[in-house]
């Protein structure tokens, strides 16, 4: 498996293309928008890149049909574009029967509210044993700068998990395996909402005590959502869960954390979104979690307050008051 095709030439897609091209793989990076394509090609020139310098051996294209030559396909698009991207692949789905498809998407499909692996399975009619999930604390900027990270690769095909683990591990990326695809996906998606909450804590200058308590209780909510989907609880205490949550909640590179900070500072969702400029996964996932909690009576007070701030114009200060005034309870009563 020497040929990699990456769907999505954003920061993470470009970083993966760079890392694996430098490891010796033949890499194709796909970007559908011609204007973006020309901009991405500028990343080859040092004066244009900040973190990522795409090496010359990476083939950059807008022709999705070139995917037929790949052995391994990475899906690295924002969740809101997953359905559109997979629709472009539908005419080629017979060509995908013997290929590995790895999702790096940290969100839910916004129209169906399904996980991305389920969406891939239903849309492209390929077997679940061909679908894997790549997630964990992995800000592209740090990986692009050569800083070490550990990532979890989830799948149900043990043979290919071990092959891919070795293939995708590098001098700076250490890959662990996990057979809980759903848990890894749900953890990767939900942590973005709680990173927004952490950013709100930063914007309100509430301090480390409050932020640590918030993140600890956020893990509780992530586990409850995972249990709803049938995930393993242990997954949420690993790289895809608490690992990714901590990185996203504390890093200056985190769009979700920064978005939350701007929500607290400017008290205006549109201003906060404009300042981020790129896709904010937690913004969309917040609405998904609200629907989940409403339909299934899940107790997600932190996620609900984030939803109210984003979609109901509630104030961050009021959200903190609501959380602190909830009925007192035992810490682990939710595990019963």
Query: Which residues, other chains included, contact 302 with Cβ-Cβ below 8 Å and sequence gap of 6+?
Result: 193, 194, 197, 214, 217, 218, 221, 323
Half-sphere exposure in the Cβ direction for 267 (13 Å, CA) = 7
∠ CA(152), CA(132), CA(79), 5° rounding?
90
Q: What are the DSSP calls for 193-210, one per residue?
A: HHHHHHHHHHHTT--HHH
Distance CA 131, CA 328 (A): 43
Question: Measured in Å, how far apart are the chain's first and last C-alpha atoms?
Answer: 45
Q: Which of 106, 123, 191, 308 is catalytic?
A: 191
Interstrand relation of 149-154 and 131-135 (parallel, antiparallel or unpaired): antiparallel
Q: Active site includes 41?
A: no
Distance CA 277, CA 271 (A): 10
Query: Which residues, other chains included, contact 122 with Cβ-Cβ below 8 Å and sequence gap of 6+?
Result: 114
Distance CA 101, CA 5 (A): 10
Closest alpha carbon to 107 in 244, 260, 299? 244
From residue 177, give the alpha-carbon distance in Å to each of 80, 116, 247.
27, 18, 20
DSSP state of 328: P
Distance CA 236, CA 312 (A): 29
Sign of CA dihedral 167, 102, 256, 118: negative
List the catalytic residues. Answer: 191
């Amino acid at each position: 498996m020497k040929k990699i095709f990456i769907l999505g030439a954003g920061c993470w897609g470009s970083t993966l293309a760079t890392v694996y091209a430098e490891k010796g793989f033949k890499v194709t990076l796909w970007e559908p928008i011609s204007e973006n394509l020309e901009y991405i090609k500028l990343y080859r020139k040092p004066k244009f890149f900040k973190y990522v310098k795409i090496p010359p051996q990476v083939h950059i294209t807008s022709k999705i049909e070139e995917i037929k030559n790949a052995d391994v396909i990475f899906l690295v698009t924002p969740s809101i574009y997953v359905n559109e991207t997979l629709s472009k692949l539908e005419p080629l789905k017979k060509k995908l029967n013997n290929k590995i498809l790895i999702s790096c998407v940290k969100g839910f499909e916004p129209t169906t509210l399904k996980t991305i692996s389920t969406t891939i399975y239903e849309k492209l009619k390929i077997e679940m044993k061909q679908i894997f999930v790549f997630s964990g604390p992995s800000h592209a900027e740090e990986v692009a700068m050569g800083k070490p990270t550990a990532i979890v690769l989830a799948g149900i095909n043990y043979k290919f998990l071990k092959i891919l683990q070795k293939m995708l591990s590098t001098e700076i990326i250490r890959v662990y395996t996990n057979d809980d695809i759903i848990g890894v996906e749900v953890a990767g998606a939900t942590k973005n909402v709680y990173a927004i909450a952490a950013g709100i804590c930063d914007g309100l200058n509430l301090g480390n005590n409050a932020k640590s308590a918030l993140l600890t209780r956020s893990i509780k909510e992530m586990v409850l959502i995972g249990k709803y989907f049938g995930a393993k609880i242990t997954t949420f205490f690993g790289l895809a869960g608490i690992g990714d949550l901590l990185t996203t909640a504390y890093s200056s590179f985190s769009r979700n954390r920064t978005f939350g900070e701007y929500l607290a500072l400017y008290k205006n969702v549109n201003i906060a979104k404009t300042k981020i400029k790129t896709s904010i996964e937690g913004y969309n996932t917040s609405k998904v979690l609200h629907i989940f909690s409403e339909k299934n009576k899940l107790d997600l007070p932190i996620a609900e307050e984030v939803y109210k701030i984003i979609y109901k114009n509630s104030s961050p200060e009021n959200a903190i008051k609501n959380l602190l005034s909830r009925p007192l309870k035992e810490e682990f009563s939710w595990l019963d």
